[in-house]
Structure 1
Amino acid sequence: MTGPRQAALFDLDGVLLDSAAAVRSTLAAVATCALGRRVMPDDLPPAALRRPRCEVLALLDVADPDDACDRWWDGAASTLPVEPFPGILAGLLALRAQGTAVGVVTVQDPDRLRWLLPPALTKLLEVVVTRQDAPPKPAPDGLHLALSRLDIPPERAVFVGDSPTDMTAARAAGVVALGAVWGWHPPAALHAAGADHLLPEPASIGPSLLNHLPPTDSA
């Protein structure tokens, strides 16, 4: 008799999608529209990708960052193609081929995912939980919702993220927290936030992720 089904859940930006350049360009475009002067990606404050977007825009002297994002974010971002990191699709396909459930828990808006997610990636996802489905990370609610939809218990799941909030959410949800060091935050920050293990490269995505799960009883 086989054991319970397993799940591999992922953050999206910086983990599955190589979206850093697109996000930086979008921030600069929104600031340009709000300020009426050209802002380039190189003009962004240090560690812009590690800060909330409205905080970055405020540091650029945008008076109402929330309004600026509502007005211009989606239009600016939709023109910038984003692709999965090399090896990601093959790794997810290998997970699915062995029967592992694959899903995403993201702070992205669901309407934005229609043009952000490449079709080849969408086909491999059994569940996608967005900020409109559950409170965003570091709350564990999104992970709990994804696992509930998959009917898989937390102890049979891993979550791969690239931020301290991802690690906090995973630990709170009772799943194995795996830190993606190719993302937007340094390894030390992931470790300090409670990562159970650090993954060195996108090629780490695949069936070997499940080696980090605790063994099941064979009885």
Structure 2
Amino acid sequence: MFDLDGVLVDSRHAQLATLAGFATSALGRRVTVADLPTWAATTPRKHVLAELGHTGVISQDGWDAATATATLAAEVFPFVADTLSALRAAGVATGIVTLRSRQRVHWLLPPTVLELIDVVVCYEDAAPKPAPDGLLLALDKLGALPGDAVFLGDMESDMHAARAAGVMPIGSGWGFSAPSTLTRAGAVVVLPDAEDLAGTLLSLMGTGRRSA
């Protein structure tokens, strides 16, 4: 199983642009990506916006508008389609567990990638990570046991959720968090890059694990 942002999709700039765009509209002054705190990419949006001076309710319509525009800057990492195809050819079922809504997942992933994913669990489907609910729901839909699965993520919450679900937590070294952060959060291993990702995951999974 995979997290989405920072693991399958290069969305760092898009996420920061969403924050800046929403803050500009909500605060009535120009806020650029450069104005955001250095920790903005790895911190819940309410804390980032509070740091900028927005303490009210986050308007969902306003957030969606900012996201729709910023998402144009997000791109699927080049290795994703080949990795998913190789896992499917090896008989491994795959899933995504993300904090994104289902609508936004379809904004970020083209149909050619979505058709290679067996299960997608979104924000509206289960309690968000670090709760294990999303991973457990994905496992149930995949018909897999926790001990038969791995989860590749790039945030502390991903590692905590995987451990709570009984799934092997694997860190994505090309994502939002530093490798040391993922290791402290419980990653069994942090992959430095995505070279031969399918082969690496199959090796880590071993013969008994059949869900990624």
Q: Which has more radius of gyration?
A: 1
Q: Which residue of 2 aligns with 1:195?
A: 187
Structure 1 window deviating more from structure 2 (119-128 vs 15-24): it is 119-128
Are the equivalent residues in 2 in contact too, given 1:163–1:190 (CA < 8 A)? yes
Q: Residue in 1 aligned with 2:148?
A: 156
Provide the rounded CA distance (Å) in 2 between the counterparts of 1:124 and 1:186: 28
% identity of equivalent residues? 48
Corresponding residue number in structure 2 for 1:167: 159
Amino acid at match of 2:177: H
Q: Specify which of 77, 92, 96 is matched with residue 67 of structure 2.
A: 77
Amino acid at match of 1:142: G
- Displacement of 1:204 in angstroms is 4.6
Listed one character per residue, the Cα deviations across residues 115-146 of structure 1 (whole Å, up to 9, x for unaligned) are: 22222221111000012111111111111110
Q: Give the counterpart letter for 1:106 in structure 2.
A: T
Equivalent residues in 2 for 1:5-84 (5 A)?
A: 9-64=1-56, 66-68=57-59, 70-79=60-69, 80-81=71-72, 82-84=74-76
Separation (CA, whole Å) in 2 of partners of 1:170 and 1:129:
14
The one-letter code of the counterpart of 2:5 is D
Q: Tell me the residue number matched to 1:3.
A: none
Partners of 1:78 and 1:116 within 8 A in 2: no
SS in 1 for 2:195: helix
TM-score (norm 1): 0.89
Aligned partners of 2:168 and 2:188 also within 8 Å: yes
- In structure 1, give the amino acid aligned to 2:30: R
- Structure 2: which 5+ runs fail to align? none
Whole-angstrom distance in 2 between the partners of 1:59 and 1:193: 25
Alpha carbons of structure 1 residues 215 and 97: separation in structure 2 relative to 1, 3 Å: closer
Map 1:125-140 → 2, pairs under 5 A: 125-140=117-132
Which of 124-133 and 106-115 deviates more?
Answer: 106-115
Q: In 1, Cα distance between the equivalents of 2:171 and 2:78?
A: 18
Question: How far apart, CA to CA, are the structure 2 residues paired with 1:27 and 1:204?
Answer: 33
Q: Where do 5+ consecutive residues of structure 1 fail to align?
A: 1-8
1:96 equivalent among 81, 88, 91: 88
- 3-state SS of 1:34 partner: helix
**Once superposed, what is the RMSD of the aligned Cα atoms?**
1.4
SS in 2 for 1:120: helix
* TM-score for the superposition, normalised by structure 2: 0.92
Does the aligned pair in 1 maintain the 2:85–2:116 contact within 8 Å? yes
Q: For 2:141, what is the secondary structure of its paired residue?
A: helix
**Aligned residues of 1:85 and 1:202 also touching (Cα < 8 A):** no
Number of aligned residue pairs: 206
Give the Cα separation in 1 of the matches to 2:41 and 2:97.
18
